[in-house]
């Protein structure tokens, strides 16, 4: 039986906190990686870390675009009476308040309550002015 080579504790700790990864690539990708390493002077680890940052930024941008598209299509918002900024109804307290106001002032299906007049629709209720 072959004895395991002694490793100092610092090497064991380093290996535990910096695991080795291994991937297989085709010859063309390997050549491009080698060219990039030689041209930039960076290690494969540095190249991978940079690629992860770019991918994370790309993923975050896609998420934000999707969120904005969803808000534009399905979101409910109103303007702040102080600064005029947009306030999205996206938390439970605002949703509850909006529901209470709509119920209090008789909002309902057009088929059930009829179409409000422009003044009723856009004007503030008398006790909210």
| Rounded Cα distance, 21 and 120, in Å | 66
- Residues across the chain: 129
Count Cβ atoms within 10 A of the Cβ of residue 71 and give its class: 0-12 exposed, 13-18 middle, 19 or more buried. Answer: middle
**Is residue 10 domain-resident?**
no
Q: Is 54 in the same domain as 90?
A: no
**Is residue 71 domain-resident?**
yes
**Which of 102, 99, 129 is closest to 116 using CA atoms?**
102
Q: Is 99 in the same domain as 129?
A: yes
Q: What is the pLDDT of residue 75?
A: 84
**Is residue 22 domain-resident?**
no
pLDDT tens digit sequence for 5-47: 899 999 999 999 999 989 999 999 999 999 999 998 888 888 8
Ramachandran angles phi, psi of 21, nearest 5°: -115, 155
Query: Which pTM does this prediction carry?
Result: 0.41
Q: What is the pLDDT of residue 10?
A: 95
Q: Is 93 in the same domain as 115?
A: yes
**Is residue 69 domain-resident?**
yes
Query: What is the total count of domains within the chain?
Result: 2
């Amino acid at each position: 039986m072959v004895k395991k080579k002694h490793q100092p504790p610092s090497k064991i700790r380093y290996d535990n906190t910096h695991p080795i990864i291994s991937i297989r690539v085709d010859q063309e990708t390997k050549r491009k990686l080698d060219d990039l390493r030689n041209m930039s002077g960076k290690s494969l680890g540095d190249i991978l870390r940079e690629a992860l940052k770019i991918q994370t930024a790309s993923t975050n941008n896609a998420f934000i675009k999707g969120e904005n598209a969803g808000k534009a299509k399905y979101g409910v918002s109103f303007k702040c009476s102080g600064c005029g900024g947009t306030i999205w109804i996206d938390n439970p307290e605002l949703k509850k308040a909006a529901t209470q106001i709509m119920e209090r002032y008789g909002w309902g299906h057009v088929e059930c309550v009829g179409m409000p007049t422009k003044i009723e629709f856009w004007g503030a209720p008398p006790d909210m002015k």
